[in-house]
Amino acid sequence: MKSVLRFFSAIFATLSLAGCVTFPTPESEKVKVYWDHSQAIAGCENLGMVIGSEGHFYDYWLHADRDMVWGAVNEMRIKVAEKGGDTLYLYQPFGFLSSVTLMGGAYRCHSSAEVAVL
């Protein structure tokens, strides 16, 4: 009985370490995402680099790769929105085994007056 209790305690501890995937906010849902389309950011103001990461060495097996990529992109979109940007340009992704880390550029492509009209 004691070993069964230890087993379930270990499972519970492992699952409690597993983080959730990052979900978009209302502001970040307005951020457009581009990859391999440099014309999309022509004439835009560069606001700096952003990094998004999902997954850990201890819980990556609990999440599908697509969910970790989606969470990393959502984290980046949130950061772009916080910088006052409206566009995320993704850089070439890194290979990954146990987590997803993406890098990209935050851009403001429309003035606040244009965004209000759109």
pLDDT digits (tens, 9 = 90+) for 7-60: 544 444 444 444 567 877 888 889 999 988 889 999 999 999 999 988 776 666
The pTM of the full predicted model, rounded to 2 decimals, is 0.71
DSSP string, 3-57: HHHHHHHHHHHHHHHPPPPPPPPTTGGG-EEEES-GGGGTTPEEEEEEEEEE--T
Structural domains of the chain in order of their starting residue, each with its CATH number = 21-117 (3.30.110.70)
- Please tell me the predicted confidence (pLDDT) of residue 44: 96
Burial of 74 (0-12, 13-18, 19+ CB in 10 A): buried
pLDDT tens per residue, range 63-111:
777 888 888 999 999 999 999 999 999 998 777 677 888 999 999 998 6
